[in-house]
Amino acid sequence: MPRKKTKSLIRDIQPDRMYNSVAIQRLINRVMLNGKKQIAERLVYGGMEKAAKKLKVDNPLEIFEQAFKNIQPHVETRSRRVGGANYQIPFEVKGQRQQHLTTMWFVQACRARKGMSMQDRIALELADAYNGQGSAVKKREDVHKMADANRAFAHFART
């Protein structure tokens, strides 16, 4: 008897109020603690405004999109057991996982900064990511280096 098909686990997220962007809504949801969405919105929107002022750019959405483009991973490694040995095999990152990793790394980098408000942390991390610096961009570069170093094992992905 054939197995039942599982439902898709990808939720449909509504775009945010101010910029009508699903990516910003994902960030707000990730920043949110204890269901306090209005506070998370205030933090994210305030951080975007501060980053725009700091970089002297009119549109905060432009900064957000460029920053997240600079953080987005293209390849990652996954562990795979082949003949008694574990190999780190590089795989291309696609779609939903790419967005998820980008958001996770960004929020992780923001929370790692200490000694200032969350709004300031978001603003500084956005500005750094926009300029191709910062912890989140460094994380992406580390993941890419790891995948590049293990390129010799890419043939295991096809077996």
Domain ranges of the chain: 22-158
Instruction: Return the sign of the alpha-carbon dihedral for residues 30, 33, 37, 40.
Output: negative
pTM passes above 0.75: yes
Q: Which CATH number fits domain 22-158: 3.10.20.30, 3.40.605.10, 1.10.10.10, 1.10.455.10?
A: 1.10.455.10
- How far is residue 89's CA from residue 12's CA, in Å, rounded to a whole number? 31
Along the chain (159 residues), what's the average pLDDT of each consecutive run of 10 residues? 76 90 95 96 96 93 95 92 88 91 96 95 96 94 92 77
- How far is residue 76's CA from residue 148's CA, in Å, rounded to a whole number? 9
For residue 150, give every residue at least 6 positions away whose Cβ sits within 8 Å of its Cβ, in sequence order, or none.
Answer: 77, 87, 88, 89, 90
